[in-house]
Structure 1
Amino acid sequence: MKSIVRATPGKELKFEADEGDALFVRSAARSMQVLAAFHGVSQPLSLGDIARLSGLDRSAAQRIVHTLSKLDYLRRSSDDRGYLPGIRLLDHTLDVLRLDPLVQKATPVLLELRRTLRERIDLSLFDDTRLIYAFRIQSKRETFYATLVGHSVPAYATAGGRAALSLLSDGAVREVLERSELLQYTSDTRTDVDDILVQVQRARSKGYALIVDEFLRGEVAIGTAIARDGVPIGAIHVAGSLSEWSPDEFEQQVAPLAMEAARAIMASL
């Protein structure tokens, strides 16, 4: 499945300063370019790979790779054939999660929701055209990638994404969809902008979104949005297997609990 590990951001990162931006530090941006080279790969990268994927010349890439390696933000692969992200980056992942107010407030609520439903529970952070998973409690069925914090999914094809989009105006939703890479994840994935907009409107009227077989074959999911001052900042996802649930049964049992959890989290923010 294309882009299953990382959904494409709607806004491309700019590694060059805007005109008149005297505070922009180009060397810091180039370090981020090197780290971003690993986003879409599935194996260690050579120095030449890093230079090509980052858009830097080989000399600049070599200096930055050397510096990041010295700081343990890059490391050599076990077979010494290339570079991988270093474990020191996990220190920063921890900082993002432990200091984020939404993750702090949501965790006890989601743990209780998991005890009640005994299905997969995820908390994601809204990022324009996609959602980035920040907290995941797995069921017995999960794959390796589905367990990873930082995994991102497209808003248009996921229950949490449509729930988050439902808090925006129709015009804003259309603008987000037109910037999205509308991939066909399964034969049931909706990729027509007008069709997706209808589903977002339905989520707006219900207070939650339901998807069946659209992102993962055999999965039914409920998504509820989390907002601050009316602006979507994240979503709760609850996912089940169609081998164990009918869509109607899942919706009836899960949707009220997921909405209650979202209300509890927002009340604590």
Structure 2
Amino acid sequence: MSDIENALFNQSLEKGLAVLKAFNARRRTMNLAEVAQAAGINKSSAQRMVHTLEALGYVRKNAITKRFQLTPEVMEIGYNYLASNTLVDVANPFLAELAQVTGETTNLTEPVADDMIYVARFVGPKFIPIHMPLGSRIPMYCTASGRAYLSALPREQAHQHLSGCTFVQHTRQTRVGLDDILERVEQARRDGFSTNCEELFLGDMALAAPVRNSEGLPVAAVHVVAPTSRWTVEEAERRLGPAVLECARAITTSIRALQL
């Protein structure tokens, strides 16, 4: 960060955002000490941040437990991003068509640091074992979406990105060796789409293809959910792979026309 950027950087805003991000599925409610620890700030700062966020309507205190939790007001921030995201608008009809053609749930994810985040979905008529709400984040290294995105990056950039990741063994199927993961990325580069089978959740399989901008760089990934209870890897790649690839190409063509 340059000297100018340092001078402009607002640490209070940083702390406020850290408090908001500290709440999650594992920390649904917290007291001030827990907020401070989760956000990485001291208790005095936590008190000021929570008081301000409470006054603004983003946090509330339970009258009985005296613990703090987020309010629905927080959702407006995420909604505003989705509402202003032209990529999501462009992708939606193609995702809907892909869901109709495959009979399975389809999703659009965008990169955030080392993860992919869900920004659009069309739910198919069939049961899926894992529910991932919009806004959920999944690691790049062990998911179809992430590997599809990485496969569209220049090789050196993809290697550099993965070299900075921490690999966690989520299931027995999770690939945690850098060379092994890079080989999967290369396979996706050759095939045009990537497959993930039970590397993040048992029973979950997905096929994904990258969406590129007008410069040919990846900006997102389309993926279709193919539970192992209904699909084998071979059948999914044969029947779903071409459809996912065609959907991603159609979205790419559309956003290039808009020069996104």
TM-score of the two chains, using structure 1 as the length reference = 0.87
Q: Does 2:240 correspond to 1:254? A: yes
Q: Does 2:233 correspond to 1:264? A: no
Q: Partner of 1:7 in structure 2? A: none
Which one-letter code corresponds to 1:212 in the other structure?
Answer: C
Note the 1:76-91 alignment, pairs <5 A.
Answer: 76-77=61-62, 79-91=64-76
Q: Partner of 1:185 in structure 2? A: 170
Note the 1:135-146 alignment, pairs <5 A.
Answer: 135-139=120-124, 140-142=126-128, 146=131
Percent of residue pairs identical:
31
Give the Cα separation in 1 of the matches to 2:211 and 2:17: 29
Specify whether residues 246 and 79 from structure 1 end up closer, same or farther in structure 2 by C-alpha distance, changes over 3 A only. Answer: farther
Deviations 1:224-258 (A, max 9, x none): 00111122111011111222122111111111111
Q: Partner of 1:233 in structure 2? A: 219
**8 A Cα contact 1:224 1:236, kept in partner:** yes
SS in structure 1 opposite 2:131?
helix
**8 A Cα contact 1:136 1:147, kept in partner:** no
Give the Cα separation in 2 of the matches to 1:204 and 1:93: 32
Q: For residue 90 of structure 1, report the CA deviation from its aligned partner.
A: 0.9
**8 A Cα contact 1:126 1:232, kept in partner:** no
Question: How many residue pairs end up in the alignment?
Answer: 252
Q: Partner of 1:8 in structure 2? A: none
Which one-letter code corresponds to 1:248 in the other structure?
Answer: E
Give the Cα separation in 2 of the matches to 1:59 and 1:128: 30
Note the 1:100-139 alignment, pairs <5 A.
Answer: 100-139=85-124
**Alignment root-mean-square deviation, CA:** 1.8
Give the Cα separation in 1 of the matches to 2:24 and 2:217: 28
Q: Does 2:54 correspond to 1:69? A: yes
Give the Cα separation in 1 of the matches to 2:50 and 2:62: 14
Give the Cα separation in 2 of the matches to 1:150 and 1:121: 15
Which one-letter code corresponds to 1:246 in the other structure?
Answer: T
Deviations 1:54-83 (A, max 9, x none): 222222211111111111111224753411
Which one-letter code corresponds to 2:204 in the other structure?
Answer: E
Q: For residue 26 of structure 1, report the CA deviation from its aligned partner.
A: 2.3
Find 1:36's aligned residue among 21, 39, 45. Answer: 21
Specify whether residues 79 and 194 from structure 1 end up closer, same or farther in structure 2 by C-alpha distance, changes over 3 A only. Answer: farther
Specify whether residues 204 and 63 from structure 1 end up closer, same or farther in structure 2 by C-alpha distance, changes over 3 A only. Answer: same
Give the Cα separation in 2 of the matches to 1:31 and 1:152: 21
Give the Cα separation in 1 of the matches to 2:60 and 2:2: 32
Unaligned runs of 5+ in 1: 1-16
Q: Partner of 1:216 in structure 2? A: 201
**8 A Cα contact 1:138 1:147, kept in partner:** no
**8 A Cα contact 1:128 1:176, kept in partner:** no
**8 A Cα contact 1:160 1:223, kept in partner:** yes
TM-score of the two chains, using structure 2 as the length reference = 0.90
Greater length-normalized contact order (CA 8 Å, ≥ 6 residues apart)? 1
Note the 1:50-65 alignment, pairs <5 A.
Answer: 50-65=35-50
Specify whether residues 77 and 224 from structure 1 end up closer, same or farther in structure 2 by C-alpha distance, changes over 3 A only. Answer: farther
Find 2:231's aligned residue among 232, 236, 245. Answer: 245
Deviations 1:147-194 (A, max 9, x none): 411100011101111111001222222221122121111111110000
Which one-letter code corresponds to 1:235 in the other structure?
Answer: A
Unaligned runs of 5+ in 2: 256-260
